[in-house]
Structure 1
Amino acid sequence: MSELPSLAFAGIGLMGLPMCRRLLTAGYRVTVWNRSPDKCAPLVALGAQVADTPAALCDAAGIVLLCLADTAVVRAVVFGPNGIIEGAREGQLLVDHSSLEPSATREMAAALAARGMRWVDAPVSGGTAGAEAGSLAIMAGGRAEDIERVRPILMHLGQRLTHMGEVGAGQVTKACNQMIVACNALVIAEVVALAERAGVDTRLLATALAGGFADSKPLQILAPQMAASEFEPVKWHVRTLLKDLDTATGLAREQGGATPMTGLAAQLMRLHGSHGHLERDPATLVELFRERRS
């Protein structure tokens, strides 16, 4: 039986922590880096090593995985001082689980390729529960041989890994995913607020609609939280959905297409965020519609 490859991982946040935990449990040697080193402590307790810089991740492993907040953060970690590009070597792979702008992904991949390190964009869907259970949906862009190289690793994180095309295709697919998720979350918030005003027991909505055409994972997760006004602990962030909606509308402009539903969702999400909810869970979207009752 061949020895498992050593891995490196940057970004120990809501998603990165359970993803790394699963890789360690599966027997991989994992070196981690995070801007706030204290967040690495639970992984160190499981046997992870900590790198001093992103560049040092390339010394520790031939496959470097990222799960970071946005395009600007990925750019800084890869190309900033002591960034991954400074340690990159021929034959290494960067696997980016972040949700980024597709055009920026292609640009950064080309720049890193000049150092011999290839890029796989592999954003995920399924939230923290999916990360903990290893049931994420992973949509990937990159060379087929690179995706097959990392498939055994990523299958510890997800139930499915789909090769969507060349570099950037994974990010396009994630933008489509987020269009559906965000619009769904907003209409669920509308539904809960409307049902409340009409005197319906909103705690029963998710159960009543389960299995019908209106059913969805967001409905089963968000409707009960909204009905009970249970917004803690934060499982994901309003700012993340807003960022991804902006990516989607920008992509539509680049392609000369129209996304009116997504554009409206972005406006509503931005309005909600402007009321101090950017760092809160999207379940708080119900408050946007409750506030309109007067």
Structure 2
Amino acid sequence: MEVGFCGPGLMGAPMIRHLLRAGHTVHVWNRTPDKAHALVKDGARVVPTPGALAGCAELIFLCVSDANAVEQVVFDAGHGIAPATQRAAGAARVRRIVDHSSIAPSATRGFAQRAAAAGIGWVDAPVSGGVAGATAGTLAVMAGGAVADVEAVRPVIGAYAARVTHMGEVGAGQTAKLCNQSIVTATVAAIAEAVSLAQRSGIDAARLTEALAGGWADSVLLQTFVPRMTRRGDAPIGALRTFQKDVDTIAATAYETGTPMPVAGTVQQVLRLAAAMGLADADFSAFVDVLQPGQRG
């Protein structure tokens, strides 16, 4: 299949490589052209605008930073996918957009309605598993959309995902991702507190992975973040500003639905403090630097 992909970043680039290995022709666009051109050696074909994808791919994937980026890529009057589809009429090939970005469910529903006016089906399909999961091709995908649309894209997504769960209509995938992020951010914050407590108590916090392995506190997050919080020099796997964006979306959705979320509210304030400390672009593990600045070796 010929597919388009907008957003070859830390997550998108390995996903594109899996699509190429699966035999798909992948046309790529990115706001920063160098990131797109870096994939040419893997077989990707770079296009000048998102709208250019509308004429060469029937399925387009998005993996961009936020709702504003989604809106610009899809609906920009000059270079967006949907206007290009409408201008080209019968010549346009794009039939479906799969949005792997993490944005508000309400924004997703609005985008889907606007895309439908251009004859484009919408699947919101945020992912979990991080850069490691994207690289290994084992991502978990939470999908929202019409059954026919989700089933049509499932085999293609399978190139980089171990599991695709259809959660319901458009927006349901994003709601599931907010649930995921509420657990992830609260857990990483709790791990940072545990590491800080261990260090201030005079024990080797790095040994928590061994001491807690197999117990109720053990998890992929524990095994990932205790080492990252007790040393420096690891390649970043994401920035705290991404967590802050997601937690702000959780808070807004909780308000819309009348859902009490006191833990998420506390994590939101920790992330705002991190931003005020100049840590917005720091790795996810910098939660611990909010609690004890400058203490990592």
Same fold (TM over 0.5): yes
1:177-222, Cα deviation, whole Å (9 max, x unpaired): 0000000011100100110011111111112112211111111111
SS where residue 213 of structure 1 aligns? Answer: coil
Residue 13 (structure 1) shift: 0.6
Q: Does 1:73 align with 2:66?
A: no
Residue 91 (structure 1) shift: 6.6
Match for 2:276: what amino acid?
Answer: S
CA distance in 1, matches of 2:17, 2:210: 32
| 8 Å Cα contact 1:90/1:116 also seen in 2 | no
CA distance in 2, matches of 1:76, 1:165: 26
Q: Which runs of 5+ in 2 are unaligned?
A: 86-91
CA distance in 1, matches of 2:201, 2:154: 49
CA distance in 2, matches of 1:211, 1:260: 28
CA distance in 1, matches of 2:59, 2:211: 46
Query: Normalization by structure 2: what TM-score?
Result: 0.94
CA distance in 2, matches of 1:29, 1:184: 39
Q: 2:287 aligns with which of 277, 285, 288?
A: 285
CA distance in 2, matches of 1:90, 1:36: 25
1:53-103, Cα deviation, whole Å (9 max, x unpaired): 101111110000000001111111111131011223587000000000100
Residue 291 (structure 1) shift: 3.6
CA distance in 2, matches of 1:143, 1:162: 13
Moved segments of 4+, more than 3 Å: none
Q: Does 1:87 align with 2:84?
A: yes
SS where residue 45 of structure 1 aligns? Answer: helix
| 8 Å Cα contact 2:55/2:93 also seen in 1 | no
CA distance in 1, matches of 2:47, 2:262: 44
Match for 1:154: what amino acid?
Answer: I
Pairing 1:120-159 to 2, within 5 Å after superposition: 120-159=123-162
Q: 2:173 aligns with which of 170, 175, 186?
A: 170
Identity fraction in percent: 47
User: How many pairs does the alignment contain?
Assistant: 288
Query: Normalization by structure 1: what TM-score?
Result: 0.95
Q: 1:99 aligns with which of 94, 97, 102?
A: 102
Match for 2:6: what amino acid?
Answer: A
1:221-280, Cα deviation, whole Å (9 max, x unpaired): 11111012x254211110111100011111011011111110110110111122111111
Q: Which runs of 5+ in 1 are unaligned?
A: none
SS where residue 276 of structure 1 aligns? Answer: coil
Match for 1:190: what amino acid?
Answer: E
Q: Does 1:52 align with 2:48?
A: yes
| Aligned-CA RMSD value | 1.4
Pairing 1:218-237 to 2, within 5 Å after superposition: 218-228=221-231, 230=232, 232-237=234-239
CA distance in 2, matches of 1:190, 1:126: 23
| 8 Å Cα contact 2:58/2:93 also seen in 1 | no
